[in-house]
Amino acid sequence: MATIADFRAEKATWCPGCGDYTVLAALQKAAVNRGLEPEDMVVVSGVGCSGKISQHFGSYGFHSLHGRSIPTAQGVKIANRDLTVVASGGDGDGYGIGLGHFIHAVRRNTDITYIVMDNHIYGLTTGQTSPTSDPGFKTKTAPAGAVEEPIHPLHLAIIQGCGYVAQGYSGNLGQLVELIEGGMEHKGFSLINVYSPCVTYNKVNTYDWYKQGIKDVKQIEGYDNTDKYAALKLIEESEELTTGLLYKNDRPSFDQTLYKYPDAPITSSDWTINPDTWNKILDQYK
C-alpha cells in the first residue's frame, strides 16, 4: 500500500509560508486515504505558482499551458476512465484565461477533481490584479485599486450544475484532506476552491485575515448542502468565506452519457488494424 512518501517527488520550491504547500500535503494524504497508488493518478496543472504541483506530486503529471489544465485532464479521463484525474491551477489560470474551459467542464460533468489555489493575485508574475481580486485591492496593475467585479467561482459552479462544490483553506489541512477525498469519490466534476494565501505579494488576504472571517459550514445547524438556493444564499451572506462542502448533487457524468462509450478504458482497447482493411483505406486515397 502506498504511503505519503510514495507521492512525493522533487522538493517543492514555493515561497516559505505559501498556502500551496498545504494543498500539496492534503492531496498526498487524500490519495493515501483513498488507497491509491502513484500509477493510479494523474495531476494536470496550468501555469502559475500553483502549476508546480504536478512536478512536486509523485504520480503521473502533465504541466499544461496557461488555463488549459481542464481540457487536458478531460482528455486523460476519457481515454482511461480507471485513472483518478486531478486538474489544478490558480485563480488567474482557472478563472481568467481558463474560465471558458471551467464552465464547459462543469456543464459536461467530466469525472475529474478540479483544485484551484485562489490567492486573489497573480503571484508568479510578481503581483498583478487577478480575476478574484476584491474591489479596491491595490496592485502594480491597479495602483488606485481594482475596479472590476471579481469572478465568483462558487456561484458560477452551482448555477451551472456542478455536482460537488467545496471550499477549503490552507490554514485547515484536515478539512482540506476531507474535501479532496470527497471530490475524488464524487462521480462527476468536482470543484474545490482553496484560499491559499500568497505571503509575498498579497499583504491583505493573509492567514490572519482569513482566520477572522472564515466559518466552517459544519458549524451551521441544519444546513442542507443539497439545497441549491440555500447554498447560494449562504455564499452570498458570508461574503464567500464559508468553507466545507457547500453544495452536492448527483447526475450522470460525461462518460456515462457518451454514446457507445466502452465499459473498459479506451487505452486498453485493441487498436490493431487488419492489413487488408488498412490497404482498403489507403486505396481510397490513390
- Domains in the chain, please, with CATH? 4-283 (3.40.50.970)
Contact 78, 262 (CB under 8 A): no
Contact 180, 115 (CB under 8 A): yes
pLDDT tens digits for range 227-240: 999 999 999 999 99
pTM of the model: 0.94
Cα end-to-end span (Å), the chain: 55
pLDDT tens digits for range 76-128: 999 999 999 999 999 999 999 999 999 999 999 999 999 999 999 999 999 99
243: helix, strand or coil: strand
CA dist 168 and 85 (Å) reads 19
From 33-37, 145-149, 273-277, the region with the lowest mean pLDDT: 273-277
CA dist 215 and 60 (Å) reads 35
